[in-house]
């Protein structure tokens, strides 16, 4: 398969593109991450999300430790060609390393961030 489609993306100076992972059925935003060319090509080829970990400086296959993989249902590029939207099925129902469904679990109330989502599984039991 030709990878010419990767050339249409407006990569950052660091060679990355921001990626939003959204539940394909309910539409909830599950997480935000980054991909480089290799991660995006692997995601397209394998059908499961592969990200670039900026903190670890390496590819990160979502769910490689937790088992909470993201099956890609659709991959979309925004109008400016600088953001990727993945419509996914979240395996295990947990996208966040904190053990929550989504990484977006805090809301601003009365000038303070308040946790509004429960922990579904203790991270100590998810990660080794």
Residues 76-120 have pLDDT tens digits of 999 999 999 999 999 999 999 999 999 999 999 999 999 999 999
Instruction: Specify if 73 maps to a domain.
Output: yes
What residue numbers bound the domain in which 32 lies? 4-93
Q: Provide the CATH number for the domain around residue 62.
A: 3.10.20.810
State how many domains the chain has.
Answer: 1
Instruction: Specify if 123 maps to a domain.
Output: no
Instruction: Specify if 64 maps to a domain.
Output: yes
Instruction: Specify if 35 maps to a domain.
Output: yes
Instruction: Specify if 47 maps to a domain.
Output: yes
pTM here is 0.92
Mapped to the 3 state alphabet, what secondary structure does the chain carry? CCCHHHHHCCCCCCCCEEEEEEECCCCCEEEEEEECHHHHHHHHHHCECEEEECCCCEEEECCCCCCCCEEEEEEEECCCCCCEEEEEEEHHHCCCCCCCCCCCCEEEECCEEEECCCCCCCHHHHCC
Residues 38-56 have pLDDT tens digits of 999 999 999 999 999 999 9
Instruction: Specify if 56 maps to a domain.
Output: yes
């Amino acid at each position: 398969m030709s990878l010419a489609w990767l050339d249409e993306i407006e990569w950052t100076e660091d060679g990355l593109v921001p990626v939003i992972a959204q539940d394909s059925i309910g539409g909830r935003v599950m997480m935000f991450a980054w991909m480089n060319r290799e991660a995006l090509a692997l995601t397209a080829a394998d059908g499961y999300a592969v990200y670039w970990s900026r903190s670890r400086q390496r590819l990160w296959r979502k769910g490689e430790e937790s088992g909470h993989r993201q099956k890609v249902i659709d991959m979309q590029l925004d109008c400016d060609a600088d953001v990727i939207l993945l419509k996914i099925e979240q395996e295990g129902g947990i996208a966040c390393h904190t053990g929550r469904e989504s990484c977006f679990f805090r809301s601003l109330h009365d000038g303070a961030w308040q946790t509004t989502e429960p922990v579904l599984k203790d991270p100590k039991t998810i990660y080794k």
